[in-house]
């Protein structure tokens, strides 16, 4: 097979064989350097630095370019759960929300606990066909965290449109390696600390949908603070009189250091291009699947995914960690995730440690 060297060059020199991006991504060297400089700056200029809004604005614009949506439709946040709670609060009483069984808790739990909302879950494969006239919202991950399954995005969008339901896509396990267009969904959320290589505390929310509705048709900015005002110089005291005319009206006051790093991490992904990262990641994942098959092991089916989860190997995690190979166990499955800083050599090392019959060697 064709050998694949890591992408990203000197931005990545990990001490481990890191195959755990589905849990959290590696921070590029340029991002770590910028954050260290910002911490040093804070000793003289405070924890908002000398330019609180510059890095966040650059991050917003870069995310918009990567997800193919106008930056005016991107809001900044801190976590997927907070954004899901906002979406839940925007739904009228009696609404039905449809979601896949076992989707990630940060996405579905705020919808499940919202009074007056009914959360109905179905198998991922049946999601499109289970949309019905009474469904108000379809909430789902583009890529499942547990086993890497990719949703039938087009089918779900078409079914939602046919029944007048809105769509809410969690791109946390997809953005950065799987080509996506955020404007195709009414709401899209992304925790950027995984495949987008940003620090924790970096989250993006987008507002799209058919016909690109104007801002006045969007939900009320229920958690808006001073950063959500049109005029930031007149927004510190009392109610915000005029929210921003863009999705900035939904911003949370952002974690400055996180967005310092995010600006550099997103710039790296733009330099490489999502298409190149997708080709790289999926080639490594296919090499791993072939290696598992040669050992008589069958991972969970997830065609085209950069995440590979296999049963029968959960007890190998500790021994792999001792050998410097970082993976994770979720739901009894050994989960490996392949990203731009990985190589064919990394995959072969993992397979060698798993051993010829599925037991770790050494």
> Going residue by residue through the chain (362 aa), what tens digit of pLDDT does each one get?
689 999 988 999 999 999 999 999 999 999 999 999 999 999 999 999 999 999 999 999 999 999 999 999 999 999 999 999 999 999 999 999 999 999 999 999 999 999 999 999 999 999 999 999 999 999 999 999 999 999 999 999 999 999 999 999 999 999 999 999 999 999 999 999 999 999 999 999 999 876 555 677 788 888 878 999 999 887 888 888 899 999 999 999 999 999 999 999 999 999 999 999 999 999 999 999 999 999 999 999 999 999 999 999 999 999 999 999 999 999 999 999 999 999 999 999 999 999 986 665 54
State pTM to two decimals. 0.95
CA of residue 341 relative to chain centroid, distance: 17
Q: Measured between alpha carbons, how far is 153 from 155 in angstroms, rounded to an integer? A: 6
Angle between helices 274-294 and 256-272 (to 10 degrees): 80
Q: How confident is the model at residue 166, as a pLDDT? A: 96
Cβ atoms within 10 A of the Cβ of 19, count? 26
* Alpha-carbon distances of 221 from 52, 57, 145, 228, rounded to whole Å: 22, 19, 29, 8
What residue segments make up the domains of the chain, in order of their start? 9-28+273-354, 30-271
Asked if the domains 9-28+273-354 and 30-271 are classified in one and the same CATH topology, the answer is no
- φ, ψ for residue 238, nearest 5 deg: 80, 180
157: tokens are 């969008």
Picking from 202, 204, 250, the residue whose alpha carbon sits closest to that of residue 66 is 204
Residues 6+ apart with CB under 8 A from 130: 98, 120, 122
119: tokens are 């959360």
Q: Does domain 30-271 have CATH number 3.40.640.10?
A: yes
Q: How confident is the model at residue 356, as a pLDDT? A: 84
Q: Measured between alpha carbons, how far is 149 from 158 in angstroms, rounded to an integer? A: 19
Q: Measured between alpha carbons, how far is 192 from 197 in angstroms, rounded to an integer? A: 7
CA of residue 306 relative to chain centroid, distance: 13
Q: Measured between alpha carbons, how far is 362 from 358 in angstroms, rounded to an integer? A: 13
Look up the CATH architecture of domain 9-28+273-354: Alpha-Beta Complex (3.90)
Residue the block writes with tokens 């440690």? 353
Cα dihedral value 72, 73, 76, 77, nearest 10: 160
Residues 6+ apart with CB under 8 A from 220: 90
Angle between helices 344-354 and 274-294 (to 10 degrees): 20
Residue the block writes with tokens 């896949």? 100
């Amino acid at each position: 097979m064709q050998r694949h060297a890591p992408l990203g060059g000197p931005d990545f020199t990990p001490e481990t064989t890191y195959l755990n991006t589905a849990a959290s991504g590696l921070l590029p060297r340029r991002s770590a350097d910028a954050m260290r400089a910002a911490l040093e700056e804070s000793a003289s200029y405070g924890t908002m630095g000398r330019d609180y809004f510059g890095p966040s604005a650059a991050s917003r614009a870069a995310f918009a370019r990567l997800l193919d949506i106008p930056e005016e439709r991107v809001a900044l946040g801190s976590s997927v759960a907070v954004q899901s709670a906002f979406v839940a609060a925007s739904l009228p009483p009696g609404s039905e929300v449809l979601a896949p069984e076992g989707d990630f808790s940060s996405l579905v739990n705020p919808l499940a606990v919202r009074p007056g909302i009914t959360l109905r879950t179905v198998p991922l494969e049946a999601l499109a066909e289970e949309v019905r006239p009474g469904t108000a919202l379809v909430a789902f991950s583009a890529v499942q965290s547990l086993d890497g399954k990719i949703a039938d995005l087009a089918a779900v969008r078409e079914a939602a449109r046919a029944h007048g339901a809105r769509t809410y896509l969690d791109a946390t396990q997809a953005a950065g390696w799987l080509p996506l267009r955020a404007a195709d969904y009414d709401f899209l959320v992304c925790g950027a600390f995984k495949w987008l290589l940003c620090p924790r505390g970096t989250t993006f929310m987008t507002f799209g949908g058919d016909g690109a509705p104007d801002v006045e048709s969007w939900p009320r900015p229920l958690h808006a603070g001073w950063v959500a005002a049109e005029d930031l110089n007149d927004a510190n005291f009392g109610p915000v009189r005029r929210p921003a005319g863009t999705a900035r009206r939904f911003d949370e006051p952002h974690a400055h250091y996180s967005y310092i790093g995010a600006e550099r991490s997103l710039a790296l992904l733009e330099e490489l291009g999502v298409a190149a990262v997708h080709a790289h990641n999926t080639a490594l994942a296919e090499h791993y699947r072939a290696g598992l098959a040669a050992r008589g092991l069958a991972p969970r089916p997830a065609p085209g995914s950069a995440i590979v989860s296999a049963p029968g190997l959960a007890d190998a995690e500790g021994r792999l960690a001792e050998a410097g190979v970082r993976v994770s166990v979720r739901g009894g499955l050994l989960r490996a995730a392949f990203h731009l800083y990985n190589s064919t050599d990394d995959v072969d090392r993992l397979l060698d440690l798993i051993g010829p019959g599925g037991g770790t060697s050494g």
